[in-house]
Structures are given as C-alpha cells and as structure tokens.
Structure 1
Amino acid sequence: MSEHADVLIIGAGPAGLSAALAAANDGAQVVLLDDNPLPGGQIWRDGAQANIPSQARHLRDSVEAHTHIQRHAATRVVAKAGSQALLVENPERGWVITYRSLILCTGARELLLPFPGWTLPGVTGAGGLQALIKGGMPVVDERIVIAGSGPLLLASADTAKHHGAQVVRIAEQAPLGAVATFAMQLPRWPHKLLQSFSLFDAGYRTGTRIVAALGQDHLEGVRLQRGNKVEELACERLACGFGLIPNVQLGQALGCALGNNAIQVDAWQATDVAGVYAAGECTGFGGSELALVEGRIAGHVAAGNREAAQRLWGERQRWQRFAGSLNQHFALDPTLKHLAAPDTLLCRCEDVPYAAVAAHANWREAKLSTRCGMGACQGKVCGAAAHYLFDWPPVAPRPPFTPTRIETLIQLESAAQSEH
C-alpha cells in the first residue's frame, strides 16, 4: 500500500502548517504527517484545558479545509523506504509515502538535565508541565517552582497560574545583566514586548539555579542557589527546562548535514540533500514567528514558487535577529554541567547513574556498556543530556526509528523491490 505527495511534510506545528498551506496554495498536492492526534505541535498543543491562539486556529482550519492537503494524525516515520520514500505507521496500519519534495518540520524538545531528586514524582519538564495542564491535569492550589532557562519558564508559569496554581518561584539561570539587555531590545519586536508584560511574575529571579529536589517518596520542596545564597522552598510540583534542542534525528537518517546541532539549511530552507528542506525549530530555536515564516518559505520553494519565497526573506531576517538575541542572552552557564552527583540517575529508564556514563568516551560506548538510552524513551531524554554534559555529537538513529509492528516492517522489502 502506498501514497504519493508532491510535497511531504513531517510535523504539523507552526512551521509544518504554514509550509503545507503555502505549497498547497501554489498548486502542490501535500501530505502532512504528525505523531500527535491534533495539529499545532508543542507550542500550540491542544487539549481539554488548552487555550489555542486565534492565529493558530485560523491556520489549522485553513489547512483542514484545503482540498490539496491530506493530513495524517498520530502517524510516525518508521524508516527510509527508498531514495524518495518513507515508511510510516499509524495505530491502524503502515504504508509507504513517495514524494517529489520533503520538508522536515520536526520541531524541538526540552533539554532536561539531571540533578539530585529529579526523578521524584512531581518533577517534570517546564514544557511538560504545560502539556499536562493543557491535557487536563488539575493544579488548583498547588505550590509550583519553575526553574531552568528561557522564556518557556514564564509561559509555563502563566499556564499554571491561569489554572489555579501558586507559582512560588521562577528560577532563571541567566544573570540579571543578560536578561536586562535582552529586555531592553524587545521594543524592536513590539508583539514580544507586550507579551513580556503579560507574563511578568513577581517571583522571577535571575542568576538562580536548581540544586536539588527534596523529598522521599514524592516531591516536598526544592533547594535553589543564587550567588552565595541557598534557599529551600516547599512545593508540590517542580518544572525544569534548560532550553530547547532541535529534533534532528530524521534529518540525520536522511543524510542531512548539521550545524550547531541543528539541521543546516540555505536561504531557500534547503538542506544539502536534494529535494529535502527543513523549517522551524529543527533548524534552530527561534520561536513560533520564525517557524511560521521559515515554513512558508520552504513550502513555496518545494512547490516551485521561488519568487514568493524570496519576498519573505526580510520577515525571516527580522525574526532571526530576535532568535539570535534570545539564544545569546539565555545561553546556559557551564556550571549546569555539574548539577548531578555521581549517583544521580542520568538514564531513568534503565537506572544508570551519572558516573557510569561519564566513564565513557562517547554515546555509543556508553550505551553498549551501561544500557543508557536503551529504555522506553530510546535516549530522547538521557541522550540529549549526555550530549550537552559531555559535548558528545548527536548520533544518527538506525531504523526502525520507533517501535513498530512486524507487518509494517515487511513493507520495506516490497518497497525496495518496486524501486529496482
């Protein structure tokens, strides 16, 4: 069983949705895949308690209504099935999609770093907290501490407060000078300036980092450090996020070159693999505005409309400047590489401590010797942490890229035969 697309797009976040609409409006037949049940990606995640921005709803409705766009929800890429074909699978079936052009809009995920107590029930990622609340998790009257780095901390705090939680502290690791310099530049992007006013919180502290989560069977409090001062705060929930890291695994598997641990693209959003483009946070973190315009450029180019794409270069440059400022001023302090104690678990799935992984020279060696990264998350959490902690380069995944049914994998053989 197979399907063909003029333009195949992986990921239905802001970049993927805008790419799909741009390509379809240029006359291309578009297939849009996403592993979530609803479009929007992480930033526009839908759910029982989600408040989706009007811009996101309009874009999503436009994609759903377009006759040239076929969207497949809850669908994952399993393997490469030829020079211009991917094997995919949803809960009901697996099939091959062939394409003329491919756009990777695989987004980014949170960087979670290990520290004493981070495996206690009640500790999540900052973005993870947002996702849980949007999905319906009650947080009324809970005391919450949010720690790590970047604007996601403020956004998570805002979501929690809107659903009845008490945010007792937002601990930003970046120093006051860096945050203040970034804030002074915000008038260049008026929308972001207004957004910052709405997200302001009296419990926000700069130059503050997590030391430990406290408790026995569940989270009871946190220990934070600000300069030479250490404080302990009682709380029922702790959310930590140390920025975002691009999801580059599929790009790597297809042979795309990386730069700064993101998929490398040129002015046309093209990778160094013919017919393969990338847009959004898999090419580097820059926020939804940058993802939207990159997606539109990639969609137009993939559909053959370079003139429309080039008209968007100025807008992209504007948001690239914002992304550059954001990444510069919220850069992680190298001391964060030393949060974990030797016995702190680095791989939660396989109970592998930090010291056992640190004893090895690279990720492959650590996996073979300790089973780190071989559990349920397949290294998505511990692998990213290890790459940051030990400066190990990301390793290309081997197919299948996700746990897959045997009957789906069998289709690889018939796909190979049809190509020859």
Structure 2
Amino acid sequence: MATERPHLAVIGAGPAGLAASLAAAAHGVRVTLIDSAAGAGGQFYRRPPAGLGARRPQALHHRWRTWRRLEDALTARVEAGTIRHLADHHVWCVVPAVPEAPPDTAPPPAGPGSVGFVVHALLGPLQEEPVTVRADAVLLATGGYEKVLPFPGWTLPGVITAGGAQAMLKGGLVVPGQRAVVAGTGPLLLPVATGLAAAGVEVAALVESADPKALLRRPVTLAAQPGKVAEGVRYGAQLLRHHVTLLPRHTVVAAHGEERLDAVTVAALDMHGRVRPGTERRVPCDTLAVGHGMLAHIDLAESLGCRIDGLNVAVDEEQRTDVPGVWAAGETTGIGGAALSLAEGHIAGRSAAARLTGTRPDPRAWARAARSRRRAREFFAVLDTVYVPPAHWTEQVTDDTVVCRCEEVTAGAVRNAVDELGAGDVRTVKLLTRAGMGWCQGRMCEPAVAGLAGCEQTPARRLLARPVPLGVLARAGDPEVD
C-alpha cells in the first residue's frame, strides 16, 4: 500500500460511504472504509449471509445491478490496496490528532483538520477490542435511524420497527410473524409491506397517516423523477396483487395483547390530524411493523463541532462541513434515499480527493453528480411535506404508556415534569425524569419526549457515539494507532 498518499477515513459503508470511498480512491487517495456491519452495503443493500444459501437475494432489492457494480468496484480496490475495508468496527469517537511534541516542549495548538484525525472504534460483536485509525481527513457517512412515536401497547412483543422487519427479511431471510400490519408514515412502509407479502406474510393492512394523493398536486416534481413514479406504481401493483388493504389518513391508536401482540386498533384521521371518533376498528395480527420517518445519525459530527442545521449535518456544495478536514454525505446530511446518498458520496469523495491531493475534479462528472443531487433533494423535500406524523398524535398517548423504554419513564411522568415542575425543554425533562439516560441515550425516545413536552427537538450533543467500556476509555490515550 502506498502510505505516502494522503489518507481519508470514511465512516459508514452504505451507499454514500461506498460512493465516496470509490471516488476518492480513484483520484489518488488512500482510503480506510470503516463500518459496523459484517459486510458493506448498509441497510439499503443489506444481504443474507452466504451460509443461508439464498438462491435469489436480488429479489429483495430493486436496485441490485447498482449494488453489484459497487461491490465489484470495492472488491477490486481492496485487492489493489487502495481501499482498506474494516468491517464489524463500531466507531465511538473521532478527535483531532495531536502530534507528539519533543520532550520539555509545549505541544502545538490542536485544531480540527490541522494535524489530521484519530478514529476510535471497537472491534467485534462484543465491541470490546479497541482499534484506532489515523487519517488526514474524515468523511462521515453514518446514515440514519428510524423514528417511532409511542402509543398504548407499543412495547408488546410483536411490535417492531418497519426497518427492523425489513432487516430481518433482507439479512436473515426470516419473517417476524404470519399476519402483519404495517403502519406509520413515510416511503419506507411500501417496500416493507410488499416485501413481507412477497415472503408469504399475510399483510392485513398498510396504515399510512399521510395522504399520498397529495403528491399528485406536485406534477412538476413528479415529472422530474420518472424513476420514482414508476417505483411507486410498481409498489401499488404489488399491494393489489397481494390483496393488501391500504388505509391512507389512518393511524394505529393502540396495540393489544397479554404476553404478545394479538391485534391493533386503527382509526381514521381528520384534516387536522386528529382521530375521528367512531372510526376505530380492531385488526387481528401477530406483528406490527411501525415507523414514522427517519432521523440522521449526527453524533460523530456533533462531537467534532460540526454545525448542525435542524437535525442534520450542515454541508456546502462540496459536502464539506464547517470543520476543516471533515466531509459528510448521505442520510447524515438529510434523509433522502439511496440515489441521493450515492450522488452526495460521489461529490464528497471527489472533493476530499481534490483537497487532499491539490488537484481539480472533472467538471463534467461533478456537474452530473450535482444535477442528480439537486433533483433528489427537491423530490425528498416534497416528500417531507407530505409524509409527516399526525399533528395530534400525543392525544392518543395515555399517561401509563412507557415512553423511555431504557429507564421505563411513562408519558405521565413527562407531562408531570412539564405541568407541575416547569420543565420547558427536553434536557430539563431528562434531568427530572431520567428519560433518555439509558442505553440508547435518548435516540429512540427523544422525539416522543419532545412531542409530549411541547418543545422542539434539538441536537443532543452526545460526547460518545455509542456505549464504551471504561477500560477502553482508560486506554484511549495510548499512542498506538493503525
């Protein structure tokens, strides 16, 4: 491996990370691709292990040829030594590197990007073996995670996230149950419902709180994305073929069962997002796959001091953050699907390579990627206005509904902190109730706590991106790095 080449650490091997790594490696940069999964691809290109003997894994994907091109290119780069792929590495912190100073001299002032970065990770399923990687620059492609809003019964066994159901199917070739309801809001519900139905699950209903017909009032946006329109039509045809009942402008108000889920209650919503009295119906099922959109993973960017715009990492036209030496691409800069992630990753990788090597990117390739990025961003900006959770979802959350699973904090406790103790923001609610102090550090419950408290969800400023053993923290200052 040519160690004299500038070194870029790419964190995340989903569509954005793969595109960025390949683009940077193709333009003279040595790349270390670090990812927590056992194989590259992220959630979108998740595949079953070879040992399961899947005969047609492409049946679970609608962009399989794109993945094969990415996979083949990554394999070639790894074999050539221009990309090192570190799978099953869980990054918990990225810090500016400080060079060792001669004895009896003060170290030089550290600044992000001035002397490179050190990436701290944990290796293996038990995440106990520390690994460090030194690089000249860092590209964050950490993706996103699902947002799930609580309702009575949502902690019952059998209630899973929509993405969790998809991961079980794509990664394990297993289905979560025999009769399912898919509910919430967002484009993810369509592939989840059709995927489960194609795998033999009886999908009793697809419960969408938004009205997808609102997209028809944006003909210009739809015309600019014919591929997305065709994709939606294919999903609709699959729902009809599998006799899946579509319930737009409906929501799940409760899940029922003793030891596990056996039914859900769904109801229609009025134009203001409130449940219409008298429209409730009970739907028997043993699985509820539910999701209310996606949130960006921004923990590493926050710890580096990158500017956050809303709940996304802010970047410029080159996908650079405001911290020198740090780029970001994909869902971490805003949820927008695989096509947008690929375009942003390509731009970010080329930009990083140009900055690190002192060259200029090909203007034609740059323009093509920028055009794809612009169109995808415009399309998903429209989707964001259509696929939103019901405005008054908190009215269905009873006081005894658990909101923070880690600390078993109920909605009543959150409301009491606001109404009786004067809490006016998520942090104060957290201090008064312990909501968000558990294993997930509020990643799952924070949107619900903010909604129940009637305040805006703001970035949490977490120091570490994941739980870390104390022994690893104690050794984090050791000089040995890869």
| TM-score with structure 2 setting the length | 0.80
Query: Would the alpha carbon gap of residues 316 and 81 (structure 1) be closer, same or farther in structure 2, given more than 3 Å must change?
Result: closer
Counterpart of 1:319, as a letter, is: A
Unmatched runs of 5 consecutive residues or more in structure 2:
97-111, 270-275, 355-359, 418-422
The corresponding residue for 2:436 is 373
Contact residue 178 and residue 330 of structure 1 kept, 8 A = no
**Distance of 1:338 and 1:356 partners within structure 2:** 15
SS at match of 2:472: helix
- Residue 69 (str. 1) matches residue 69 (str. 2): no
- Residue 287 (str. 1) matches residue 301 (str. 2): no
The corresponding residue for 1:60 is 71
Shift of 1:378: 3.0
**Distance of 1:57 and 1:372 partners within structure 2:** 43
**Distance of 1:226 and 1:380 partners within structure 2:** 29
- Residue 80 (str. 1) matches residue 94 (str. 2): yes
The corresponding residue for 1:316 is 373
The corresponding residue for 1:345 is 402
Counterpart of 1:19, as a letter, is: A
**Distance of 1:183 and 1:235 partners within structure 2:** 37
**Distance of 2:450 and 2:136 partners within structure 1:** 34
**Match runs of 1:210-249 below 5 Å:** 210-227=252-269, 228=276, 229-249=279-299
Shift of 1:104: 0.7
Contact residue 116 and residue 211 of structure 1 kept, 8 A = yes
Shift of 1:268: 0.7
The corresponding residue for 2:349 is 299
Question: What are the superposed Cα offsets for residues 347-383 of structure 1, whole Å, 9 maximum, x if unpaired?
Answer: 1122110121242333333333333223333322112
Contact residue 8 and residue 102 of structure 1 kept, 8 A = yes
Shift of 1:5: 6.4
Shift of 1:136: 2.8
Counterpart of 2:287, as a letter, is: R
Query: Would the alpha carbon gap of residues 212 and 323 (structure 1) be closer, same or farther in structure 2, given more than 3 Å must change?
Result: same
Shift of 1:60: 2.1
Determine which of 87, 90, 99 is the counterpart of 2:123. 90
Counterpart of 1:213, as a letter, is: A
SS at match of 2:165: helix
Shift of 1:87: 1.5
**Match runs of 1:139-178 below 5 Å:** 139=175, 142-175=178-211, 177-178=213-214
**Distance of 2:46 and 2:218 partners within structure 1:** 27
Counterpart of 1:262, as a letter, is: N
Give the superposed CA RMSD.
2.4
**Distance of 2:404 and 2:350 partners within structure 1:** 42
Query: Would the alpha carbon gap of residues 207 and 366 (structure 1) be closer, same or farther in structure 2, given more than 3 Å must change?
Result: same
Shift of 1:196: 1.1
**Distance of 2:312 and 2:321 partners within structure 1:** 11
Shift of 1:14: 0.4
Counterpart of 1:256, as a letter, is: C
The corresponding residue for 2:100 is none
The corresponding residue for 1:395 is 460
Counterpart of 1:414, as a letter, is: D
Counterpart of 1:236, as a letter, is: D
Shift of 1:185: 4.6
Identity %: 35
The corresponding residue for 2:104 is none
Pick the structure with greater CA Rg. Answer: 2
Question: What are the superposed Cα offsets for residues 80-118 of structure 1, whole Å, 9 maximum, x if unpaired?
Answer: 343422222212732322222211111111101000000
Query: Would the alpha carbon gap of residues 349 and 178 (structure 1) be closer, same or farther in structure 2, given more than 3 Å must change?
Result: same
**Match runs of 1:102-141 below 5 Å:** 102-136=138-172, 138-139=174-175
Contact residue 5 and residue 97 of structure 1 kept, 8 A = no
* Worse overlay, 271-280 or 95-104: 95-104
Unmatched runs of 5 consecutive residues or more in structure 1:
none
**Distance of 1:108 and 1:158 partners within structure 2:** 22
SS at match of 1:239: strand
Counterpart of 2:317, as a letter, is: A
SS at match of 1:303: helix
**Distance of 1:176 and 1:297 partners within structure 2:** 31
Contact residue 182 and residue 329 of structure 1 kept, 8 A = no
Shift of 1:204: 1.5
The corresponding residue for 1:361 is 424
**Distance of 2:217 and 2:207 partners within structure 1:** 18
Question: What are the superposed Cα offsets for residues 169-228 of structure 1, whole Å, 9 maximum, x if unpaired?
Answer: 111111354244368853432221221122112412211111111112111111111143
Query: Would the alpha carbon gap of residues 27 and 378 (structure 1) be closer, same or farther in structure 2, given more than 3 Å must change?
Result: same
Contact residue 387 and residue 394 of structure 1 kept, 8 A = no
